Amino acid sequence: MSQKFYQEFKLGILGGGQLGRMLIQSGIDWNINFSILDPDPSAPCKSLAEFTTGKLTDYQTVMDFGKSCDLITIEIENVNVSALKELERQGKKVFPQPAVIELIQDKRIQKQFYKDHQIPTADFILTENKEEVLKRKSFLPAVNKLGREGYDGRGVQILLTERDLEKAFEAPSLLEKLIDFDKEISVIVARNEKGETKTFPAVEMVFHPAANLVEYLFSPAAISKEVEKEADAIAKKIITDLNMVGLLAVEMFVTKDQKVLVNEIAPRPHNSGHQTIEANVTSQYQQHLRAILNLPLGDTSIIQPSAMVNVLGEDGFSGLAKYNGLEEVLNRPGVYVHLYGKKLTKPFRKMGHVTIVDSDVERLKNTANFVKQTLKVTT
């Protein structure tokens, strides 16, 4: 394959959102041809590659799409796994492997995997419906999580007191102990077919309390050497135990007594790795390509400390997006704006992100705050 360097090679991505968009951006340097499947005819990848409008969860749509590609990857987990399994059976390369996507699609199976593999995670019980949650008063305070199809915090309910039990999910879910954490961190790890693994240094995430989305991210995380080592080892163990090829983001809690617990994993480029484009030697997107093409994994070292701010649609605005404060933000040194090509904004929609790099961590935080307060998406 290297003799052609991908000139006649077609990499299919299930999903045409911002993650796909940045993956294409990275693949252009290697002559990779991309083909995209997404249900939204105006998805962020629309005009950047061969584009098919179609449902990611439909068996036949995914089959037809997959057959026309040389290698298939994903930028979203909610895809038809049966079709991917059949494509794999027919000899198509699918990375991450369909079995891994299937496991991750269900948080209940994910949690069971951690337990079976002695990977530290919050204690949990499985519940089939609301009635079962109501019987578990003694397990509070807890977090009720939908088994399937929850994302961006939409399948997560925090149940502090008996009164909150009303918010419990009717569908198969899990009830997990509420962790009074010190920090939330993420380690992104890559693994190629040769079994080589490499982690990015841990980053620290700060969440938006109402929207449940990452609001800021700092790299590197302010954690001890011991915690860093532990988090790194856990990420490597998970990707190896899964026998997975590709990129895996491992979201973790650092507890007040400095223990590391796995929250959840995502088998693809991740929101917590955007800053690697400017701030690390190899970006998460290039690392994903290296992993799935079985190329040597790149150096993940940090070049400079960085912060990442998600640019979310302002609350109260829906319609054609307008970006306010761009010039003020771009006037500051070390500020890199990424817009995702979404025409329409709505409250808390991810419209872009900004990475800030600065060798001075205090100044970095100040600029991140300035960016947050200045760059607003309205209509």
Ligand X SMILES: Nc1ncnc2c1ncn2[C@@H]1O[C@H](COP(=O)(O)OP(=O)(O)OP(=O)(O)O)[C@@H](O)[C@H]1O
* Binding interface with Mg ion (CB under 5 A): 251
Reading the block at residue 362, the tokens are 């205090």
> Alpha-carbon distance 126 to 115, whole Å?
13
**Residue 155 binds which entry of Mg ion, ligand X, none, CB below 5-8 Å type-dependent:** ligand X
152 binds ligand X (CB under 6 A): yes
Can you say how many angstroms the Cα of residue 275 is from the centroid of all Cα atoms in its chain?
Answer: 13
**What does the DSSP 8-state code read for residue 258?**
S
- Applying CB under 6 A, what is the total number of residues that bind ligand X? 19
Residue selected from 39, 54, 120, 150 as contacting ligand X according to rule CB under 6 A:
150
160 binds ligand X (CB under 6 A): no
With beta carbons less than 8 A apart as the criterion, state whether 60 and 37 touch: no
75 binds ligand X (CB under 6 A): no
179 binds ligand X (CB under 6 A): yes
Tell me the closest approach of the beta carbon of residue 107 to ligand X, in angstroms: 7
> Alpha-carbon distance 377 to 345, whole Å?
7
5 binds ligand X (CB under 6 A): no
Q: Closer to ligand X at the Cβ: 54 or 347?
A: 347
120 binds ligand X (CB under 6 A): no
**What does the DSSP 8-state code read for residue 200?**
P
Reading the block at residue 258, the tokens are 């400095």
Tell me the closest approach of the beta carbon of residue 96 to Mg ion, in angstroms: 17
Tell me the closest approach of the beta carbon of residue 140 to Mg ion, in angstroms: 21
Pairing of strands 350-357, 197-199: unpaired
Reading the block at residue 74, the tokens are 């994903």
> Alpha-carbon distance 237 to 323, whole Å?
42
With beta carbons less than 8 A apart as the criterion, state whether 12 and 37 touch: yes
**Residue 140 binds which entry of ligand X, Mg ion, none, CB below 5-8 Å type-dependent:** none
How distant, in Å, are the alpha carbons of 199, 302, 351 from that of 224? 17, 17, 34
156 binds ligand X (CB under 6 A): yes
263 binds ligand X (CB under 6 A): yes
Interaction mask 285-324, ligand X, x per CB under 6 A: ----------------------------------------
With beta carbons less than 8 A apart as the criterion, state whether 340 and 377 touch: no
SS3 of 118-141: the string is CCCECCEEEECCHHHHHCCHHHCC
Q: Return the range that interacts with ligand X (CB under 6 A); candidates 87-95, 128-136, 172-180, 315-323.
A: 172-180
132 binds ligand X (CB under 6 A): no
Site residues (vs ligand X, CB under 6 A): 122, 143, 145, 150-153, 155-156, 176, 178-179, 184, 207, 212-213, 251, 263-264
